[in-house]
Chain A
Amino acid sequence: MPGTAKTWVSEHLAAAVSGDSTLLVQGTAGTPEEAIRYGWNYAQLLAHGPSRDALVPSPVMRAMAEGMTARVEELTRIPADVQDTLITILSEKTLPIPELGQEVQAVRGFNLIATANDRDRGVNDLSSALRRRFNTVVLPLPATPDAEVDIVSRRVDQLGRSLDLPAAPEGTDEIRRVVTVFRELRDGITTDGRTKLKSPSGTLSTAEAISVVTNGLALAAHFGDGVLRPDDVAAGILGAVVRDPAADRVVWQEYLETVVRERDGWKDFYRACREVSA
């Protein structure tokens, strides 16, 4: 799922396990096979013919040879035929170099951490053969509202400083409200556990909550009185929730009418949301 600090975790894991997090393949739609296996230094190749010296090893190859942890970012964005090169590496733990009649054997300690989004559509889904060679861990969203509020306010603070936004006094209530709305819609149940809700198609990750609040702060600083108010976040929330104009709008309206309207102290928020939703 986007916005749950996958890359951060994989980076820290690699650094903790093998002391180095730089053996990294950045996955894109244009990632070639050479980025995962090896490339050639053509000047060397032409001058001296094929040899290990003319070989340009990939991060994966280096990790195999040295017994380190390699990382592949955004695995599902890599074209399927390029992904397939990983299959032999992961099951046989060797990387053949047929041009030289050699192979690179993985040394004890070689590991591969790959990250991918499971909510993205239209990318290269993993083949079951490759999927089987990975142990899958789905990174959870923050377990408690307090933890999430904490994460959001800390990141908003950092971002606000780098964007030179004026420091916002007392925005915590509004941040808590944004986090509550996100959590409730994401989990499909209200925080008191009494009412079930439909979930919209968006992911509503913590990262999105951070961007909604940062955006609200910018609005409050430049167009409002500097205090984060419901009007500043309402439009941002609407944009994050309603991704599919037909289905998500119904979800959002139901949420407004059945949950927000009756909640104590949420009158302003309800009004602000009604205004932008209409």
Chain B
Amino acid sequence: MAVLEILKIPDERLKQVSEPVEQFDDELRAFIDELEQTRRDGPAAVGIAAPQVGRLLRVVIVDVSNTRKPVPNHGYMILVNPEITHWDGFEMGREGCLSVPDYTGNVIRATHIRIRAQDPWGKPLEYEMEGYEARAVQHELDHLDGLLFIDRVVSRRTDLFQRKVYQKGGKSRK
């Protein structure tokens, strides 16, 4: 097993659309092991996508079970040929990327998603997820379509103002 080289922008391969996995064989599973080893090798990444190491296959790994403050999660997930089948809500959050060193930015993502995928043996999977984990999956799935978070960064001026009930301010005398 080896730690693979992470492609960095402006590598053209990061803009390619990845191919669906058709062969669920030992070679695929060995590659996934190396992909996971690569994810764990660098800065604390919660996910990695196959094209980030130059392999244009629809495979991602996501694991948000290790955040500073615990968030709802499904643990370590290998998603082969993943697809989002439903999404709901949106929220802004800060993202960075192993392929984009020394830059972070705000990105709007769906807050709830349902996904369909396959495991490394081709068995169908379904997940429903929210918040940070949903964000991580959307970030990784973008890689499979040749998109990076920097393609989606929004200005902080575009901030979505958090709706909340005014308890202290804005008392109107009506």
**Co-assembled chains A and B:** no
A-side interface residues toward B, CB under 8 Å?
Answer: none
